[in-house]
Amino acid sequence: MLNPSQRGEDSPNLEYTIRVNQHENDTGGFFVALFKHVEERTPEKVARSLILKKDKLHEPRELVRKKKNRHSPVKAPIEVVKAICEKWGVEESSFSWWLRGKRISIGPKLILEKIYDPIVYNKKGDYWPSFDFHPLKVIHVGQPTFAENRGIWRTRQESLELIRPHISNSLVEVKIEIIEQLLSGNSPLVEEFPVEVNRGSFILKCDDYLLPVWIAARVSLMIDDNEQEILRMKLGIELERVE
C-alpha cells in the first residue's frame, strides 16, 4: 500500500490515533482511531448507525447474554479489589478493575461508564442488559497489573510504571547496593537483610528503581530474566559468565 505522499496526497491528521504494537501488550498489533460525527451530516444530528430502526408495535425485548468461560474477563469482585487496595495503597476509585483467571487488570473508568454499565440497543430496539460487554466479544480488558500467589496479590513487573504514582503501601526503601546484590544473583536470608521485612510480596524502592520481591526464608526477585538483564544494563552490572 502506498502512503499519502507516494499517492500525491496530503497526509491525514493522526492526532487522535494510536498504533499499538504487539510487543507492548503481548497481543497482535492493531490500530485505534477516534472518529467524531459531524452533526450537520444527518438530520437527526447523530451517526446513522446509532439511529434505532424501531417498530412502534414492537415491544423492546431483552436479549440473551452469552455464557462466559474461565477465560472471559469479568468485573473484579469487590473483596478482591479492596484487598489489593489495602495491600498496595492504591485508590480504588482511580481505575476500573477486571478479573481474568488469576490476574487482575486495571483500566480507565470510561470502560465502565461507556461500555460495561449502559444498556445497549440494537437497530430493532431490542437491548442487551447493563453490566456486560455484549454485544462486543471482549477477550481482554485493561493492563494486567496484579497476580494472585498463595492468597496474596502481587504486582506484575510490566505494570509498575502504570501504578508507580498510585502505590503507597508495601514499599521498602533500600540502598542501591541491595538492588545490585539481588540483581547479581544473591538471595539473602531474611535475618541477614539490612532492612526489617515481613513475609509476602513487596517492592524494594531506591530512587527511581522499583524491584518486586517475594519474602519468605529468603528475599527473592519476582521478575523474569529479561527484566533483570535490563535493570543490570541500566546499573552497569556485569554477571560473571560460566564457561
Domains in the chain with CATH codes = 170-237 (2.30.130)
Q: Which of 33, 159, 28, 48 is nearest to 97 (CA)?
A: 159
The pLDDT assigned to 236 comes to 86
* Residue of higher predicted confidence among 27 and 128: 128
Residue with the three cell numbers 538483564: 229
* Better-predicted residue by pLDDT, 44 or 153: 153
Assign 149 to helix, strand or coil.
Answer: strand
Give the number of C-alpha atoms closer than 13 A to the C-alpha of residue 13, restricted to the C-beta side: 4
Strand residues in the chain grouped as ranges (E): 17-20, 30-33, 74-75, 96-100, 103-107, 120-121, 127-128, 143-149, 152-155, 171-173, 200-206, 209-215, 219-221
What pLDDT does residue 94 have?
94
* Average confidence (pLDDT) over 58-81: 87
Question: If you write DSSP's letter for every residue of 210-222 in order, what string do you get?
Answer: EEEEEESSBEEE-
Give 63's contacts (C-beta < 8 A, 6+ positions apart).
Answer: 122, 126, 127, 128, 134
Instruction: Report CA-CA distances (Å) from 107 to 12, 38, 61, 74, 191.
Output: 29, 29, 31, 13, 39
169 or 23, which is more confident? 169
Instruction: Specify the higher pLDDT residue, 2 or 190.
Output: 190
Give pLDDT, residue 60.
86
Separation of alpha carbons 29 and 42, rounded Å: 34
Tell me: the pLDDT tens digits for 185-233?
889 999 999 888 888 899 999 988 899 999 999 999 988 888 888 888 8
Higher pLDDT, 187 or 17: 187
pLDDT the model gives residue 26: 60
Q: How many CA atoms lie within 13 A of 136 on its CB side?
A: 18
pLDDT the model gives residue 7: 76
